[in-house]
A and B are shown apart, each in its own frame.
Chain A
Amino acid sequence: MAPPSGAPPGDAATARLRVALELEIPSDVRYIEGVVGLIARHCAQFGFAPRQISLNIPVALTEALSNAILRGNAERETLRVQVKADLSATRLVLEVVDEGTGFDLEKCRIDPTSPENLEREDGRGLFLMTSLMDRLERFSSHGNVVRMTLHRHD
Chain B
Amino acid sequence: MSLAITKQGEVVVVDVEGQLIVGNRNEFKQKVLDELERGARKVLIDFARTGYIDSSGLGVLVTLSRRIREEGGELRLANLNDDLKTLFELTKLDTLFQISDTKERALQSF
Contacts and interface: CB of A to CB of B under 8 A. Distances in A.
A55 B87 contact: yes
Given A62-B21, A125-B55, A112 B83 contact: no
Contacts of B96: 118-119
Nearest to A125: B55
B66 A119 contact: yes
Interface stretch (B2-10, B40-48, B56-64): B56-64
Nearest to B84: A55
A128 B54 contact: yes
A120 B59 contact: yes
A88 to B, nearest CB: 24
A128 B86 CA distance: 11
Interface residues of B, number: 27
A33 B21 contact: yes
> Chain A interface secondary structure, helix, strand, loop or mixed?
helix
Contacts of B83: 51, 54-55
9 contacts: A29-B21, A32-B23, A54-B83, A55-B52, A58-B51, A59-B53, A119-B62, A125-B55, A128-B54
- Nearest 6 pairs of A and B residues by beta carbon: A124-B55, A121-B59, A55-B83, A113-B92, A125-B55, A29-B23
Interface of B: 19, 21-23, 51-56, 58-60, 62-63, 65-66, 82-83, 86-87, 90-93, 95-96
